[in-house]
Amino acid sequence: MGHQVTIKDIAKQLNVSVATVSRALRDLPDIHPDTKKLVLDLAKEWDYQPNLLATSLVKSKTKTLGIIVPDLGYYFFSTVIKHIEEAAIKAGYSLLITQTQESYERELTNIQNLSRGQVDGIIISLSRETSNFEHLTRLQRRGIPLVFFDRNCEDIQASKVMVDNEQSAYEAVKHLIENGCKRIAFLAGPKNVSVSNQRRLGYIHALEEAGLSVDPSLILHSDYYQDTARSQTHLLMQSDNRPDGILVVSDRLAIGVLTALKELKIRVPEDVKMVSFNNEPICQVISPTITSVSQPLDEIGRISVELLLAQIEQKTGESIPKVEVLKTNLVVRESSTKRN
Amino acid sequence: MGHQVTIKDIAKQLNVSVATVSRALRDLPDIHPDTKKLVLDLAKEWDYQPNLLATSLVKSKTKTLGIIVPDLGYYFFSTVIKHIEEAAIKAGYSLLITQTQESYERELTNIQNLSRGQVDGIIISLSRETSNFEHLTRLQRRGIPLVFFDRNCEDIQASKVMVDNEQSAYEAVKHLIENGCKRIAFLAGPKNVSVSNQRRLGYIHALEEAGLSVDPSLILHSDYYQDTARSQTHLLMQSDNRPDGILVVSDRLAIGVLTALKELKIRVPEDVKMVSFNNEPICQVISPTITSVSQPLDEIGRISVELLLAQIEQKTGESIPKVEVLKTNLVVRESSTKRN
DNA sequence: GTGAAAGCGCTAACAG
DNA sequence: CTGTTAGCGCTTTCAC
């Protein structure tokens, strides 16, 4: 072959100017029906495909949204992306999806790449390692629209789509208390992730409201590995004053907890009750089924796009960063309720 | 702000030509150290970012690989992509990830988009719906490098990375037979997916070799929904001559099968034994743990990139399409073996 | 209706 | 060492 067919090739063949071809292809007015037909037919015959890079370059917009998530392997992220994509397509945009694998370095290079003219705006959920936010403020200074979802940076003024983590943790713990738990542990995620901190607040709030003491030794930080949760549970359960309820920051970790409890022959929910977050499909197939906080993944995706497009397509000078806080929903299953 | 800083802005400010700036930025020889320093300093100060579209346009290569998969929500695909990304980054390439949601239409538009100059080549796993392959041959005619993995098209000459589906199904069924199964059903996936057909061959091969009859009523095609597997299992188990072993085309469907069996109070593995494909993490946390065929996801990813880059970066005229067939590994767990 | 020309941001000869 | 020129493929005035 050699090279792709261009507008120029068609123009030459038809003895017209490239401008004319361009007009025909884009269905603009002011073109003779015959010329147009000629162009379209040849374009079809030659399987002409417009070069998006060229178009984007001259229009200085790409009709593409950049997505940065920690890990596509997480149900949460792949599902949100599915809904982001749906909304984007509907609005005539494509997606450029990247992942950081929870690495700050990778986040840096991804941001940089995307900000080199590849996308009109970026939707991001921060890596676990990220505690320096200069790369993000730099983006904003350069005028590149940015929307956070889930894992955000509290200090940055930007559009954000969050769930009410504090409230959902509060409700989860309250649920445990109502089911008889007196001593509730919290397996939190990594320490510097905003989501964990917000949930801790809700956890504490519920305990205090019920007149239960907050025991710092019952709050354990960790990574996102199942095995860490497993060993932490072992430790937790070997103390003399062991918990009768556990709030776990994610379903993944919850499975680590269940594994440990099974090893220790501690029954769930009879001896210990558990609630976790995300409501992944696995919650309903594992035994015992897991009570989990369900997040509105469709809305998170849809609204992220909405807020980003609002910035991108703003006709009117400024756009105020808008923060959406969505409600969650506790899905009660076996792991937290008495067997009947 | 208005617009991004360009090479021209820097040139103007420093009273040099854009060529000089370009040289300095790209660390080319033939440039005075002082000029270079001047340029680099200003570029840093102004947070200059090269426009990738412009570079790609002039070089007519993007250093980006397009990825098309049916669904990022599948463990198989998100994990393969993780390894594709690793290999790509190592080779200096970025990824443009898209998904079809198993829709032929979406595959069409994704292919088209990517082929409009956005990527140097494409790695694809076909959608379930795809039975017309013109969009792919058209790609090839236009000289755009293409590599298939997992779900491929047998009739197209192209580089492919596959696993030995026939052999792995053969081994899986043989394993069931060795564990006492006499009447083995096969929950295959969608009918027109190459993977399913290959596995069916292996299934039949193992039965015939053991002198067991092949009963067509034991081979059930379906979609990829857990619930379909569940209802199919109900049907299967209500026949008078029900199976004592089931080969399931994916772990997802296997969970549907387990659900149905639990509802029917049929014990696994005592009454029925089961083997499935993919070896997702869930296999080891569900009860009973699932015997499953593990695929070399890292190699699939790595080799896909390798074969694609071989085509992209070929110096020497032609490149022969290369088909890699990788070995799988049966991971034996509770669902297929006698309890002790 | 159509064409010529300029330009998006950058690279790549080719002079000097 | 540095500048000039042309051009990647396309859109967009502005003439005619």
Instruction: Output the pLDDT for position A320.
Output: 81
Instruction: Output the pLDDT for position B171.
Output: 98
Residue B56 and residue A56: Cβ atoms within 8 Å?
no
> What is the mean pLDDT for each group of 10 consecutive residues in chain A (340 residues)?
85 96 93 95 96 96 97 96 97 96 96 96 95 94 95 92 97 97 93 87 97 94 88 92 95 94 94 97 92 98 97 75 96 87
Name, in order, each residue with C-beta under 8 angstroms of B74's C-beta and a sequence gap of 6 or more: B252
Give me chain B's average pLDDT, please.
94
* Chain-centroid distance, C-alpha A61: 24
Q: Residue B120 to residues A95, A148, A227: CA-CA distances in angstroms?
A: 17, 30, 40
Residues 38-77 of B with CB under 7 A from strand D: 54, 57-58, 60
- Give me B41's structure tokens: 């300093």
Instruction: Output the pLDDT for position B3.
Output: 80
d(CA B146, CA B155): 14
With CA atoms as reference, the chain B residue closest to A52 would be: B116
Instruction: Output the pLDDT for position A1.
Output: 47
Scanning chain B, the segments in alpha helix (DSSP H) are 7-14, 18-25, 33-45, 52-59, 75-90, 104-114, 134-141, 165-178, 194-209, 226-238, 251-263, 297-312
What number of H helices and E strands is found in chain A? 12, 12
DSSP state of A146: E
Per-residue confidence band for B179, with pLDDT thresholds at 50, 70 and 90: very high
- Residues of chain A neighbouring B139 (CB-CB closer than 8 A): none
CB B141, CB B186: distance < 8 Å = no
Instruction: Output the pLDDT for position B316.
Output: 56
* Chain-centroid distance, C-alpha A66: 12
* Chain-centroid distance, C-alpha B170: 22
φ/ψ of A313, rounded to 5, equals -100, 10
Instruction: Output the pLDDT for position A296.
Output: 98
pLDDT more than 70, % of chain A: 97
pLDDT, tens digit (0-9, with 9 covering 90-100), for B199-226: 999 999 999 999 999 999 999 998 888 8
Instruction: Output the pLDDT for position B194.
Output: 84
**A258/B contact by beta carbon, under 8 A:** yes
**B50/A contact by beta carbon, under 8 A:** yes
Q: Taking the CB of residue A211, how many other CB atoms lie within 10 A of it?
A: 7
| Minimal CA separation from B171 to chain A, in Å | 27
φ/ψ of B313, rounded to 5, equals -100, 10
pLDDT, tens digit (0-9, with 9 covering 90-100), for B81-111: 999 999 999 999 999 999 999 999 999 999 9
Instruction: Output the pLDDT for position A269.
Output: 95
3-state secondary structure A119-138: CCEEEECCCCCCCCCHHHHH
Instruction: Output the pLDDT for position A325.
Output: 97
- Give me A260's structure tokens: 């440990």
This prediction has a pTM of 0.94
pLDDT, tens digit (0-9, with 9 covering 90-100), for B242-266: 999 999 999 999 999 999 999 999 9
pLDDT, tens digit (0-9, with 9 covering 90-100), for B288-310: 999 999 999 999 999 999 999 99
Q: Taking the CB of residue B248, how many other CB atoms lie within 10 A of it?
A: 28
Report protein residues in contact with nucleic acid strand C, where contact means CB under 7 Å. Answer: A 15-20, 23, 30-36, 54, 57-58, 60; B 3-4, 6-8, 18-19, 22, 25-26, 50-51, 54-55, 57-59
Residue with structure tokens 């068609």?
A10
DSSP state of B185: E
pLDDT, tens digit (0-9, with 9 covering 90-100), for B135-165: 999 999 999 999 999 999 989 999 999 999 9
Q: Which helix (H) or strand (E) holds A184?
A: strand A184-187
Give mean pLDDT, residues B164-177: 98
- Give me B255's structure tokens: 């969970």
pLDDT, tens digit (0-9, with 9 covering 90-100), for A286-320: 989 999 999 999 999 999 999 999 999 986 556 78
DSSP state of B293: E
With CA atoms as reference, the chain B residue closest to A55 would be: B53
3-state helix, strand, coil in chain A (%, to 5): 45, 15, 40
